[in-house]
Structure 1
Amino acid sequence: MKKIVLIGPECTGKTTLARALADRLGGVYVPEYSRPYSIRVRSEQGRNLTLDDVMPIVRGQIAAEAGAAAQNPDYIFIDSNPLASAVYSMWYYGREPEGLDGIVSSMKYDMYLLCAPDIEWEDDPARDMPVGREGIFAMFEEALAVRRLPFAVISGEGDERFENAMAALAGRVLPAERK
């Protein structure tokens, strides 16, 4: 089972790309847990997320990944993961909650696809960052590099973005007959 994480700033096509890759390769798509969580907190509690919300998001994301892994697919395409929570914690709160670094270090993935902020930002109830995406993109890139995690930057629009992702996977996680 190969676990591929799509990661990066908001509104960079992670969800669309993760679904398309899962469809093409017959894998399982794991949705981003923080998105519905954030929308629920805003609508039910009338507030933005705080540092106290990070660990419940991480636990929910890990549970969703475990559910996908239990299906024993060849590929799991994960829309965000605990590393994303760590990066966003640093961006929004200047620190990570206690224990998050250990969780990030313990989670193993075969490949990260870091989605570049080169597509237009679109507003929706879960997004709040129309500017600054380049700054958080740099934080993601640094977090991946410092941890020596296997990643490729994915850019382009539409089909080009998808083909760039397929090419990155072909070079690292896809068997020869799937490339």
Structure 2
Amino acid sequence: MQKVFIYIFAYFIGQFLFAHIVGVLLYRKNVFHLGSGNPGARNAGRSFGKWGFLLVLIGDMLKAFLVCLLADKVGIGIIGQSIALILVLLGHMYPVIYKFKGGKGVASFIGGLLYISPFSTFSFIGVFIILFLIYRSFTKSGLIAIMTTPIFLYLYESNLWVSIAITIIAIIIILRHTDKKVIVGDEQ
């Protein structure tokens, strides 16, 4: 029963889009009507500046981190945490309360991964930085780094099922980025 509660809670919490919350509460603006219209940290940064970017990034990371922490505390294990992370991301990307128009999930992915496997997160960041220096593209560098994450996760955690769950997440994020309705330039 705890697993079911955690999974429902994960999807529900995922629907809190911090770009929209920060925009309305601090800037009195609707992020859905600004820039690319994407309720993510990059569009918030373009629309509200560096503080808006940081607040949204931290908020979206924190919600996934806290869901994984809660899943761990109730004892559903690392596989259960990974499933909860999938549901946070689905809530973030396809929120019912916003008519299924959500963000792209990168910040939430990083937040949940940070709890599940800190070393995999640091490896992801390292790969991202190297690729960004080569490609000078946040999106291309980020998506390639996300694709390498299941490999790092398996190397650090030696758990095939968790690596499969993170592979599913990587595929969902990549598909979300390639959705023709949401791509605008180099948006992430």
Please tell me the TM-score bracket, short chain as reference: 0.3 to 0.5
TM-score (norm. length: structure 1): 0.34
**Normalising by structure 2, what TM-score?**
0.33
More strand by share: 1
